[in-house]
Amino acid sequence: MIAYITLLKVIANKGTILSGTSILHHTRRLLIVAGTVMLTAFLLSANIHPVHAQLSRAAPEAPTGQATRPAAPVRSQMVVAAHPLAARAARQMLRDGGTAIDAAIAAQMVLNLVEPQSSGIGGGGFLLYWDAFQQQLLTVDGRETAPAEAGPDRFLNDDGTPIRWPDAVGTGRSIGVPGIVPMLEAVHGEFGRIEWGELFAPAIDLASNGFGVSPRLNLLLTGMGPDAFNEDARNYFFDNTGEARALGEVLKNPALARTLKQIATSGHRALRSGPIAKNIIAAASEPGVATITLNDLRAYESIQRRPVCVPYRSYSICGMGPPSSGGMTVGAILGLLEASDLGDQPNAAAIHMIIEAEKLSYADRNRYMADSDFVDVPAGLLDPDYLEERAQMIDPAQTMGRAEPGTPPDLETTPGTDASDENPGTSHISIIDQFGNAASLTTTIESAFGSRRMVSGFLLNNELTDFSFRPVDEGGRPVANRVEGGKRPRSSMSPTMVFDADGNLWAVLGSPGGSRIILYVVKALVAMIDWNMDPQAASALGTFGSRNGPAELEHGADMDRFASELEALGHEIARPSMTSGLHIIRVTPDGLLGGVDPRREGAAIGD
Ligand code: DON
């Protein structure tokens, strides 16, 4: 073992960059010209949708082109993250002898800067951590909480009707108490090897000296326009004529550098007292609404939850339990498919079966899943007999249309029908270190640029819009995912790890994508396990699935070839953009293989 590690360390010094877009730092003008050329090349290579047409305020995390990147195995350690600079910062920590949690923290802080639309210290996330030394899996909940004084009518108009989502997102109503820094600090305390303060050095350096604005950041800003943002954000993201920062423009964020320096020194305490806390409270305030208080900031704690693991084929698939619906819903879908032969490559019959399993599982998810510290989430939803009975409802010859929720064995009270709306700003980081530890972190500020309110250099989330806006359904039954003080909104985030029959780590994966995250993760799992695809092919594969509505086939992707067969089975077909960000690492006998979602700007970097 020692010899093996030594060998890996030797290889580690050489290093391999598998993929990624690099934006050079130069003079402003040169960069803008170079940037325009790069953007054109990026889009031409894209094979994809008309980018500007895709951008709208209703769908803020639109696709910004596709690129395919090669996969090659590395021996020792790997990071897959949504931006090359974040992956590099993480790799630096791994090379310095850090663990997967050290690397994840460095990547997260850089992502806050270079992919500000998706995640950051103003948000929350869920982390799976595989501790190779103890051979144990931890699942940690760093989800935002509702302020203690928040009530079920938070998203209702005076007449009792729900507020429209666009009218809630950019307001103080939507902002939850951030959880990502407390969570990362807690896990680092147990598993970190590099000193906490050092993990912030790459992000502080980039925030102070600047980074090149990426195509995706530029396009999302252009699509959203300056009026969507508060003053701090507007001044940072737009020039004084209202133009979004140009592609390749070197952007510095001294306010974020200052904030990160304080967190590097004082940890999450920097966010719950002093000037940053004061700024958060002021930026989140909204007349007449119970918004974040100092007590809320001080009361926040991340929570270690029990992992949700289900058998699928010869593997064990492990994910995040409530308040995320991810682990349980992915588990239920796979449980319903366990007895089905899905063939050895993508095919219409298998896609039909998967869609039907998804409909049944989303019906249950929508009714039963929420923060289990507040409502009773029936564990029977994953009971093998219950799933076998539900699987009988799947007809290979025709669609069931819309599925109804079932009655799991341990049900105590039936909650009302949910009406929450989730819109696409999230990022997924997968890491395996030289010791065999792994991190699967899905991190978010909810929709693109969160609440669009910037404070001390970072954006505050709009996570509370993941609650059901209606506290009771039409029959007067309380909805499980209604707003309550201190509660965490239901999530779809599905950081996942797969273990083989001997209990060895086999894959690390996850994705952004709002309530479609579950579809993306199921697609990738089936692609790798049933269809034997490598992680790059699994991530790039055209997306399909259903959230108990129409059968969704990714716009412009090769899955459209299955449309007529699915229509013949009675499916109503929708062709939305499906902007996943599936970041995968597979452990193979030849080494670690990365999968980077071609729909975003990520990179897999390993040694
Ligand atoms: O927690 C959730 O499920 C959502 N707030 C995640 C949002 C998201 O993934 C947006 N991604 N593009």
- pLDDT band at residue 185 under the 50/70/90 scheme: very high
Distance 427 CA to ligand 1 centre (A): 9
- Is the residue at 100 inside a domain? no
From 99, 399, 426, 442, active-site residue: 426
CB 434 within 8 A of CB 12: yes
> What's the pLDDT at 418?
73
The number of C-alpha atoms within 13 Å of 272 and in the hemisphere containing its C-beta is 17
Residue 33 lies in a domain: yes
Give distance in angstroms: CA of 442 to centre of ligand 1: 9
pLDDT of residue 61: 53
- Residue 247 lies inside a defined structural domain of this protein: no
Q: Locate the ligand 1 atom nearest the alpha carbon of residue 489 and give its number.
A: 1
pLDDT of residue 412: 81
Q: Whole-angstrom Cα distance, residue 607 to residue 11?
A: 6
- The rounded Å distance from CA 444 to ligand 1 centre is 6
The region of weakest confidence among 63-72, 388-397, 507-516, 518-527 is 63-72
Determine phi and psi for 472, rounding to 5 degrees.
-130, 155
CA-proximal residue: ligand 1, atom 7 (nearest): 514
- Whether 73 has a pLDDT exceeding 90, the answer reads no
Domain limits for position 17: 2-45
Give the model confidence (pLDDT) of 424-457 as tens digits.
479 999 999 999 999 999 999 999 999 999 999 9
In this predicted model, which residue has the larger pLDDT, 401 or 28? 401
**Alpha carbon nearest to ligand 1 atom 1, residue:** 491
Q: How many of the other CB atoms lie within 10 Å of CB of 602?
A: 32
Query: How many angstroms does the Cα of residue 463 sit away from the middle of ligand 1?
Result: 8
Spell out the residues 6+ positions from residue 4 whose beta carbon is closer than 8 angstroms to its own: none
The answer to whether the CB of 23 falls within 8 A of the CB of 42 is: no
Lowest mean pLDDT of 237-241, 369-373, 470-474, name the range.
Answer: 470-474
- 496 catalytically annotated: no
Q: Which atom of ligand 1 is nearest to the CA of 517?
A: 9
Cβ neighbours of 189 (radius 10 Å) = 11
pLDDT at 33: 31
389 has pLDDT over 80: yes
Indicate the average pLDDT of the chain.
89
**Is residue 27 included in any domain, yes or no?**
yes
- The answer, yes or no, to whether residue 193 has pLDDT greater than 50, is yes
Domain count across the chain = 1
pLDDT at residue 50 tops 50:
no
- What is the pLDDT confidence band of residue 419, given thresholds at 50, 70 and 90? low
pTM of the model: 0.90
Residue 224 domain flag: no
Judged against a pLDDT cut of 80, whether residue 243 lies above it is answered with yes
Q: What is the pLDDT of residues 565-602, one digit of tens each?
A: 999 999 999 999 999 999 999 999 999 999 999 999 99
Q: How far apart are CA 582 and CA 317, in angstroms?
A: 16
Tell whether the model's pLDDT for residue 154 goes beyond 90.
yes
Tell me which of 422, 441, 582 to substitute to probe ligand 1's pocket, judged by most ligand atoms within 8 Å of the beta carbon.
422
With respect to residue 15, please indicate whether it lies within any of the assigned structural domains: yes
pLDDT surpasses 80 at 120:
yes
Report the residue among 127, 324, 444, 460 best suited for mutation to probe ligand 1: largest number of ligand atoms under 8 A from its CB: 444
19, part of any domain: yes
The answer to the question of residue 346 being in a domain is no
Atom of ligand 1 nearest to the CA of 424: 10
Closest residue CA from atom 5 of ligand 1: 446
Instruction: Give me ligand 1 centre to Cα 454, in Å.
Output: 19
pLDDT at 391: 98
